[in-house]
């Protein structure tokens, strides 16, 4: 298996390092100078569609949450997101002007598949974003966009999440184009940022070494809070999920502005806060949220391109010209942090206890 891991210690590690390369695959033939193209979608695919509902589980659900911000902001289309196992039993009100999107790495998750069948039963048009061609979810959908991440072996999803989020970002721009709601300037800005994404995903030795060293200070404590705002809130959820999955430490993702409504009561030096502080998105707002936590003596690990005086640990990022570049760069940081903590604790990174790669039963 060493060969398969190409010299990496774990599949998860290999897959983190692969992200830069597979992202180019994900964009190939789709991100063009003039805009986004999806040969999978007919030109009239979005005719009559006024809203989007996304359904998914686990990590795929987190990419959906990030996408909801992008669909409303870029495409100006209403978008809501539901956990598949909740959606199935809530007797949802569905209207046929809603496109039903499912997101799934495997294409076999039982809850997501059943949610899709339900939406189809209600007459909704469906689109899946999936990593496995010809999977059940792909076959069941009216159209499918493949993420092209390649086989993902680590149970803790990394490159699948990255490529799902990229497809959703592209799709938001695509819908905007179709609806003529994207100003030329915005289009150029988004395309330019997309083309820079593979660069933001490169793992440098400096970063990996830094996270390896830093991880030894985060092996105990009474819990982690990953905090962020806007699209960095779903990223905080995903960062916390990665850590939970492979370190078995308690971690939560939380919207930074919501900490004062309860969780800040937990703050003391044993509370580890992983603060996602993007320069290009609500920086002053997140900064003041982190300052409040620091004033209560929480231990702060700040991830930002902007030096932050109150941080106990500071991880400097480089690509801060666009929120999505910051998103992807910070994603890599949280993945590697979880990996290094898990390794130090002696856990099985690729096969964490109690978890399965694909959950085909309810
Ligand atoms: C399992 C995996 C997760 C994954 C979730 C959804 O719980 O351990 O990593 O996010 O299923 O899987 P899917 O294949 O539908 O994305």
Burial class (CB in 10 A: 0-12, 13-18, 19+), 278: buried
Q: Is the model's pLDDT at 64 over the cut of 90?
A: yes
User: 67-78, pLDDT tens digit by residue?
Assistant: 999 999 999 999
Is 357 in the active site?
A: yes
Q: Rounded CA gap, 299 and 272, in Å?
A: 5
State the chain's mean pLDDT as an integer: 96
What percent of the chain is predicted at pLDDT more than 70? 99
Give the pLDDT of residue 220.
84
Instruction: Using the predicted structure, report yes or no on whether residue 1 has a pLDDT greater than 70.
Output: no
User: Cα–Cα distance between 163 and 105 in angstroms, integer?
Assistant: 10
> What is residue 39's predicted lDDT score, i.e. its pLDDT?
97
Q: How far apart are CA 199 and CA 210, in angstroms?
A: 19
At 240 the pLDDT is 98
Query: Does the model's pTM come out above 0.95?
Result: yes
| Predicted local confidence at residue 221, as pLDDT | 73
Ligand 1 site, residue 106, Cβ cutoff 6 A:
yes
pLDDT tens string 234-276: 999 999 999 999 999 999 999 999 999 999 999 999 999 999 9
Q: Whose CA is nearest to atom 3 of ligand 1?
A: 58
Contact 314, 308 (CB under 8 A): yes
**Looking at the predicted structure, is the pLDDT value of residue 282 above 90?**
yes
124-168 pLDDT per residue, tens: 999 999 999 999 999 999 999 999 999 999 999 999 999 999 999
199 Cβ contact list (under 8 Å, min separation 6): 20, 319
pLDDT, one tens digit per residue, over 9-41 is: 999 999 999 999 999 999 999 999 999 999 999
Judge if the beta carbon of residue 137 lies within 6 A of ligand 1.
no
Query: What is each CA distance from 161 to 1, 93, 97, 105, in whole angstroms?
Result: 24, 28, 27, 8
Residue 4, pLDDT score: 87
Confidence tier at 317 by pLDDT (50, 70, 90): very high
The reported pLDDT for the residue numbered 300 is 97
Q: Which atom of ligand 1 is nearest to the CA of 160?
A: 16
235 lines ligand 1 (CB under 6 A): no
Contact 348, 28 (CB under 8 A): no
Using pLDDT thresholds of 50, 70 and 90, give the confidence band for residue 323. very high
Q: How many CA atoms does the CB half-sphere of 24 hold within 13 Å? A: 9
Q: Indicate whether residue 109 lines ligand 1 (CB < 6 A).
A: yes
**Which ligand 1 atom minimizes the distance to the CA of 164?**
16
Ligand 1 centre from 306 Cα, in Å?
A: 34
Measure 57 CA to ligand 1 centroid, in angstroms.
6
How far does residue 117's CA lie from ligand 1's centre (Å)? 18
- The bridge status of strand 31-32 relative to strand 35-36 is antiparallel
Tokens of 62: 């987190």
Ligand 1 and 60: CB distance under 6 A: yes
- Cα separation, 310 vs 296, in Å, equals 12
Strand residue runs (E) in the chain: 31-32, 35-36, 51-56, 78-83, 98-104, 125-130, 143-146, 223-228, 251-255, 271-276, 299-304, 313-316
Please give the sequence-ordered ranges of beta strands (E in DSSP) within 27-177, or none if there are none.
31-32, 35-36, 51-56, 78-83, 98-104, 125-130, 143-146
Exposure letters 103-133 (e unless 16+ CB within 10 A, then b): bbbbbbbbbbbbbbebbeeeebbbbbbbbbe
Each residue's pLDDT tens digit, 84-130? 999 999 999 999 999 999 999 999 999 999 999 999 999 999 999 99
306: Cβ below 6 Å to ligand 1? no
Contact of 221 with 272, CB cutoff 8 Å: yes
Q: Is 358 in the pocket of ligand 1 (CB under 6 A)?
A: yes
Ligand 1 pocket mutation, candidates 157, 165, 240, criterion most atoms within 8 A of CB: 157
- Out of 15, 55, 56, 60, give the residue to mutate to test ligand 1, the one with the largest number of ligand atoms within 8 Å of its CB: 60
Tell which one of 359, 360, 361, 362 to mutate to probe ligand 1, the residue whose CB is within 8 A of the most ligand atoms: 359
For the Cβ of 265 lying below 6 angstroms from any atom of ligand 1, the answer is no
Residue 3 pLDDT exceeds 80: no
Asked if residues 243 and 218 have their Cβ atoms less than 8 Å apart, the reply is no
Q: Ligand 1: distance of its center to the CA of 138 in Å? A: 15
Q: What is the ipTM of this complex?
A: 0.97
Q: What is the pLDDT of residue 2?
A: 53
């Amino acid at each position: 298996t060493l060969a398969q891991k190409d010299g990496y210690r774990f599949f998860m590690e290999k897959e983190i390092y692969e992200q830069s390369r597979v992202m180019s695959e994900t964009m190939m033939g789709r991100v063009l100078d003039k805009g986004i193209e999806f040969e999978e979608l007919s030109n009239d695919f979005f005719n009559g569609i006024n809203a989007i509902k996304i359904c998914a589980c686990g990590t795929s659900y987190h990419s959906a949450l990030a996408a909801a911000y992008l669909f409303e902001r870029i495409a100006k289309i209403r978008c809501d997101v539901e956990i598949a196992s909740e959606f199935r039993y809530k007797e949802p009100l569905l209207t046929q002007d809603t496109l039903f999107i499912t997101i799934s790495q495997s294409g076999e998750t039982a809850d997501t598949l059943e949610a899709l069948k339900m939406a189809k039963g209600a007459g909704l048009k469906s689109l899946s974003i999936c990593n496995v061609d010809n999977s059940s979810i792909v076959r069941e959908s009216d159209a499918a966009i493949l993420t092209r991440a390649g086989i993902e072996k680590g149970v803790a999803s990394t490159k699948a999440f990255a490529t799902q989020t990229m497809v959703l970002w592209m799709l938001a721009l695509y819908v905007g184009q179709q609806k003529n709601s994207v100003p030329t300037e915005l289009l150029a800005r988004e395309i330019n940022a997309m083309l820079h994404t593979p660069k933001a995903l490169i793992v440098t030795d400096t970063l990996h070494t830094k996270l390896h060293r830093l991880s030894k200070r985060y092996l105990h404590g009474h819990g982690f809070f990953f905090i962020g705002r806007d699209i960095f809130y779903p990223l905080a959820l995903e960062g916390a999920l990665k850590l939970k999955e492979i370190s078995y430490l308690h971690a939560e993702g939380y919207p930074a502005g919501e900490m004062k409504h309860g969780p800040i009561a937990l703050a003391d030096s044993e509370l580890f806060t992983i603060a996602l502080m993007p320069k290009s998105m609500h920086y002053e707002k997140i900064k003041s949220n982190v300052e409040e936590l620091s004033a209560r003596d929480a231990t702060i690990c700040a991830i930002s391109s902007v030096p932050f005086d109150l941080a106990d640990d500071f991880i400097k990022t480089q690509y801060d010209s666009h929120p999505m570049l910051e998103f992807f760069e910070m994603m890599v940081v949280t993945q590697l942090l979880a990996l290094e903590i898990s390794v130090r604790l002696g856990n099985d990174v690729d096969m964490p206890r109690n978890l399965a790669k694909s959950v085909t039963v309810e």
